[in-house]
Amino acid sequence: MLDLTTKKCVPCNSKEMRPMAEESAHHLIPKVEGWNLVKEDGILKLNRSWKVKSFTKGLEFFKFVADVAEAEGHHPDLHLVGWNNIKIEIWTHAVGGLTENDFILAAKINKLDLHHLLRKKVSA
Ligand SMILES: C[C@H](O)[C@H](O)[C@H]1CNC2=NC(N)=NC(=O)C2=N1
């Protein structure tokens, strides 16, 4: 399969769009490093968390992600809690589950170079 970052999200309002089977999601999750496959209230979602340097750098992180989402026409759920903990959840609301759009968006978020906004990992 082509690298997910070379693909484009498609509009979610087509009647044919269906949530993918859990097996398909498990097949795709290795292609989006760092992202988790979770099921919440029966809905499959992707999520990933980061610790940022500050509250404002968390908002900067979201702005970079928002630009990708707007370019793709597909949008994540953004969480910023405890001032420097961010979590991004991605799922296709129109179908109540996961579609390839979600994996494309996650892959394109992974391509952003946002290390300057992240807290350095504390060595064990
Ligand atoms: C027409 C357009 O595809 C829809 O309005 C989009 C907008 N962004 C979206 N983002 C997500 N995550 N799920 C959707 O169902 C969705 N629908």
Domain holding 101: CATH number? 3.30.1360.20
- What domain count does the chain have? 1
Report how far residue 44's alpha carbon sits from residue 113's, in angstroms, rounded to the nearest whole number. Answer: 27
Q: Per the domain annotation, does 35 fall within a domain?
A: yes
Ligand 1 center–CA 75 separation, angstroms: 6
pLDDT tens figures, 61-83? 999 999 999 999 999 999 999 99
**Which of 75, 77, 88 has most ligand 1 atoms within 8 Å of its beta carbon, as the pocket-test mutant?**
75
Handedness of CA 95, 73, 79, 22 (dihedral sign): positive
pLDDT for the residue 100: 97
For residues 10-24, average pLDDT: 92
Q: What's the CA gap between 37 and 88, in Å, rounded? A: 12
- Residue 15, domain member (yes or no): no
Tens-place pLDDT, residues 34-48: 999 999 999 999 999
DSSP H stretches of helix in 1-124: 22-28, 55-72, 100-110
Total Cβ atoms within 10 A of residue 79: 14
**Which residue range(s) make up the domain with 83?**
22-117
Pocket test for ligand 1, best of 93, 101, 102, 104 (most atoms within 8 A of CB): 93
Residue 4 has pLDDT above 70, yes or no: yes
**Residue 9 domain-assigned (yes or no):** no
Residue 123 lies in a domain: no
Q: How confident is the model at residue 15 (pLDDT cuts 50, 70, 90)?
A: confident
Ligand 1 atom nearest 77 alpha carbon = 12
pLDDT of amino acid 124: 66
Please report whether residue 16 resides in a domain: no
| pLDDT at position 10 over 80 | yes
Taking the centre of ligand 1 as the mean of its atom positions, its distance from the CA of residue 121, in whole angstroms, is 34
Strands 85-90 and 43-51 turn out to be antiparallel
For atom 13 of ligand 1, which residue has the closest CA? 92
Which atom of ligand 1 is nearest to 76's Cα?
A: 12
Give the CA distances from residue 22 to residues 9, 29, 42, 98, in Å, rounded to whole numbers and listed in that order. 20, 10, 11, 9
Asked if residue 38 is part of any domain, the answer here is: yes
